[in-house]
Amino acid sequence: NAGVMQNPRHLVRRRGQEARLRCSPMKGHSHVYWYRQLPEEGLKFMVYLQKENIIDESGMPKERFSAEFPKEGPSILRIQQVVRGDSAAYFCASSPGDSPLHFGNGTRLTVT
Amino acid sequence: AQKVTQAQTEISVVEKEDVTLDCVYETRDTTYYLFWYKQPPSGELVFLIRRNSFDEQNEISGRYSWNFQKSTSSFNFTITASQVVDSAVYFCALKSGAGNNRKLIWGLGTSLAVNP
C-alpha cells in the first residue's frame, strides 16, 4: 500500500508566480490535511478536506491560498502570486477517519 | 489554552547511549490524544505512537519507550542504546477534545543527533 505521495519534492518559484502542490492520499483514505512547516515554528495546520469538500480552512491565509480535493485525482494546494514568506515545507497527511495521520514527504517551496 | 512544549531544542549523544526526549502538554480537556512523530533528514514525517488520556500504561516498542504521566502532564520518549539512524527531529503533538485531527497541536521538535 503506497504511502501519501506528494509532488513535486522541491519547487522553486519567483515572486508573483503560482505554486501548485499535489497530494495523493493513501489508498482508502478520504481525509486530507495540509500543514506548513516554517523553520523554528513547527507544523501549522492549514486546511482539512474530504472528497469535494473543504471541512476546515481556518489555518489557511484568506488571500492567495486555496485547496481542493476533487472526486478524482489528487488534492491540490495552490498559492497564487507567491511571496518570499511563502517559502516553507508543505506537508500533506491523510487518514481514513479519526486515526493517526500519515504524512507525505513534503514539498519544499522556495520563492526567489 | 492547548500547548505542547518540547524544551530540548537539540540533543547530541554518542551511539549506544540512552536518551530521553521530553514533552509537556497543556489542555483543559479530559479526553485527549498524544502523539510522537519522527522526521529524519530526508524530511518525511513518520508516525511513532498515539496514546489516549485514559491509558497511562507505559509502552515499549523495541528500543523505544514512552512514559505518560498525567500528574505532570508529560509524555516523554526514551530511546535505549541509540543508533546513528535515530538521528532525526522528533515532534510531540496533542489532539484535544472532540473533533478530528485538525486540532493537532505540535511542539517545535527536538533535534537528536546520534554520533558514532
Checking if the pLDDT of A15 tops 70, the result is yes
Residue B12 and residue B21 in contact, taking contact as beta carbons nearer than 8 Å: no
- Per-residue burial over A4-20, b = 16 or more CB atoms within 10 Å of its CB, e = otherwise: bebeeeebebeeeeebe
Say which amino acid occupies A42: G
| CA nearest to A103, candidates A57, A51, A34, A50 | A34
Using an 8 Å CB-CB cutoff, list chain B residues near A59.
Answer: 102
Looking at residue A66, what is its pLDDT? 97
C-beta atoms surrounding B41 within 10 Å: 8
Determine phi and psi for B36, rounding to 5 degrees: -125, 135
Question: Sorting pLDDT into bands at 50, 70 and 90, what band is B107?
Answer: very high
pLDDT value at A23 more than 90: yes
Query: What does the pLDDT average to over A98-105?
Result: 84
Report the pLDDT value the prediction gives residue B42, as an integer from 0 to 100: 85
Is the predicted pLDDT of residue A51 greater than 60, yes or no? Answer: yes
Q: Indicate the residue of A42, A48, A108 with minimum beta-carbon distance to B108.
A: A42
The set of cell numbers assigned to B100 is 478530528
* For residue B44, pLDDT beyond 90: no
Tell me the chain B residues in contact with residue A103 when contact means C-beta distances shorter than 8 Å: 37, 44-47
pLDDT of the residue at B66:
95
Report CB contact under 8 Å: A40, B108: yes
- Mean pLDDT of all residues in B83-92: 96
| Residue of B7, B110, B22 lying closest to B67 (CA atoms) | B22
Chain A residues near residue B104 by CB distance under 8 angstroms: 43, 45, 101
